[in-house]
Chain A
Amino acid sequence: QLQLQESGPGLVKPSETLSLTCNVSGGSISSRSYYWGWIRQSPGKGLEWIGSMYYSGNTYYSPSLKSRVSMSVDVSKIQFSLKLNSVTAADTAVYYCVRHDPLANWFDPWGQGTLVSVSS
């Protein structure tokens, strides 16, 4: 059974870079059918897609975050990563890593999520 698990600092200072990693277990990250993505949820708010990437490195990002986001994948470690730079308090959220079907545009499964707070 495919499982995803996020890891990374729970506290980031304003203007610094948020970095998270997602470890994939129970399946291959090199699947030709799926992308790997990140979604965040601000406290008490809805869901926001950040971006998705293919194991070969092809990426696409939300236009609203594109200027600050980068994603990468490490096939040998079966993990992928997110970097969001120049963070502000508005970036405080629970960050989820997901498997993304890019054709039908659904997300499954989801990691358990990790809360990242932006504060000095």
Chain B
Amino acid sequence: QSALTQPASVSGSPGQSITISCTGTSSDVGGYNFVSWYQQHPGKAPKLMIYDVTYRPSGVSNRFSGSKSGNTASLTISGLQTEDEAHYFCSSYTTSSHVVFGGGTRVTVL
């Protein structure tokens, strides 16, 4: 099962908005609204930021939002802050192996 495709890195200045893409196929991202996003700071465990494409768990800042169009899901971080600097991974249900992750995107705050 190939990993979902994410850009290796995305950067932005404080206060700006950035968007991370996550591209799959009709067998995963495009076929189901079961896309989730995780934030991982160095040396820490991943943290759930978005589930079911657009939903935020309790406690997650509303600066984080998710969307999907066709086979591509996106995570947008608005009002970028220094603490947002981390790796971000997407995940989706997939018919072939239940779960597939993206390769991860490093977000840098300039």
A positions within 8 Å CB-CB of B = 46-49, 52, 60, 62-64, 96, 101, 103-113
Query: How many residue pairs between the two chains, A and B, have CB atoms under 8 Å in the bound complex?
Result: 66
For the complex, give the distance between the alpha carbons of A12 and B101 in Å: 26
Which of B9-17, B19-27, B47-55, B78-86 makes up part of the contact surface? B47-55
Decide if B34 touches A96 in the complex (CB within 8 Å).
no
Chain A residue numbers with a CB within 8 Å of B92 are 105
Q: Which residue of A lies closest to B87 (CB)?
A: A46
Chain B residue numbers with a CB within 8 Å of A46 are 3, 89, 101-104
Can you list 30 A-B contacts with CB-CB less than 8 angstroms, sorted by A residue number?
A: A46-B89, A46-B104, A47-B89, A47-B101, A47-B104, A48-B101, A49-B100, A49-B101, A62-B98, A62-B99, A64-B1, A96-B46, A103-B34, A104-B34, A104-B51, A104-B52, A105-B34, A105-B91, A105-B92, A106-B34, A106-B36, A106-B48, A106-B52, A108-B47, A108-B48, A108-B51, A109-B48, A110-B46, A110-B47, A111-B45
B69 CB–A CB distance under 8 Å: no
Q: Which residue of A lies closest to B6 (CB)?
A: A46
For the complex, give the distance between the alpha carbons of A101 and B48 in Å: 12
Most buried by B among A47, A109, A112: A47
For the complex, give the distance between the alpha carbons of A55 and B49 in Å: 26
Number of interface residues of B (CB under 8 A): 26
Contact status of A105 and B98, CB under 8 A, knowing A46-B3, A46-B104, A63-B1 = yes
Of A47, A62, A106, which is within 8 A of B97 by CB? A62
For the complex, give the distance between the alpha carbons of A32 and B106 in Å: 36
Q: Which residue of A lies closest to B98 (CB)?
A: A60
Chain A residue numbers with a CB within 8 Å of B44 are 112
Q: Which residue of A lies closest to B3 (CB)?
A: A46
Q: Which residue of A lies closest to B103 (CB)?
A: A46
Q: Which residue of B lies closest to A102 (CB)?
A: B98
